[in-house]
Amino acid sequence: MYGDFAEPVLLAGESRVRVAASALSHLALGRASGTHYSAAGAFPFVAGVDGVGRLDDGSRIYFLALRPPYGSMAEYSVARAGHFVAVPDALDDVTAAAIANPGMSSWAALAERAKLQKGETVLINGATGISGRLAVQIARHLGAKKVIATGRNVEVLRMVGADVTIALGDDAAALEASFKKSFAEGVDVVIDYLWGKSAAAILSAGAKGGGDTAPLRFVQIGALSGPEIALPAAALRASAIMLMGSGLGSVKLERLLASISGVLQAASGFTIAAAPIPLSQVAQAWSMQDSAHRTVFTL
């Protein structure tokens, strides 16, 4: 719904921000529908979980973790102290808004959770979407020597810039063979955007093919293929797999902000497709999601 909402009333430690751009991310959609685990469940509220804008002193910032009921899809929002970072002058508003959240997901997973070391091999499970494509680029930027990408769209996988691509088809035996080959050659970190059957297959392959190598760090980020998997207990007992998550709650806010700052500083070297749309067209654009582009509402 597009309509009027009262201008924010500031509390101590808050600043007014004139919003320039706000991305329609999976998190924003989940919060608005009440399906995301971090949804407050209080109505009415303004949609949008982050954005780019200017403080009253002219500073241009990326801001997040807003105080309900205020969201970022509005002319004005609230920036809380310690909940925003500066946007580099060379980076435009739309690109900054589009890249911050999906870029942070893999940057935090790789740098904060997996502690990626230069020269390691990273497997990105689910690399055809915006976050997954960025994850391939960010893994390379952070020092990965080899990047393996999985996904159902083979044509897209060929364009993401990975060293090895694995198609997630219906042939379970072929998929197992592909994962087995990759783990035999060595995989240090898995970044998982899918969960579901492919994640279970990766964990199984990691347990069987890890040998005496360093522990496999499996970082779970998204669950586009389903919220649950069947995982034999022996897969964890018989291997050195470290299974962990990355997201709101598992990474402290200051470290998430550090990850976002890193993404914004390095953004000129990354590619992301953004589709700017005036906020007045929010009703039409809300249900027109395209995994190849990030919708960014502009004001």
Residue type for position 74: A
pLDDT, position 224: 87
Residue 6 makes CB contacts below 8 A (sequence gap 6+) with none
Across the range 22-40, mean pLDDT stands at 73
**102-245 has CATH 3.40.1410.10 classification:** no
Domains in the chain: boundaries: 14-101+252-298, 102-245
Q: Which fold has domain 14-101+252-298?
A: Quinone Oxidoreductase; Chain A, domain 1 (3.90.180)
Residue type for position 18: R
Q: Is 30 helix (H, G, I), strand (E, B) or coil?
A: helix
Across the range 34-59, mean pLDDT stands at 81
Token representation of residue 285: 């654009």
Burial of 170 (0-12, 13-18, 19+ CB in 10 A): exposed
pLDDT digit string, tens, across residues 131-175: 999 999 999 999 999 999 999 988 888 888 999 999 998 788 889
More confident residue, 264 or 208: 264
pLDDT digit string, tens, across residues 174-210: 898 999 999 999 999 999 999 999 999 999 898 887 5
pLDDT, position 41: 64
This prediction's pTM: 0.91
pLDDT digit string, tens, across residues 223-253: 888 889 988 888 888 788 999 999 878 999 9
Are residues 73 and 297 in contact, defined by beta-carbon separation less than 8 angstroms?
yes
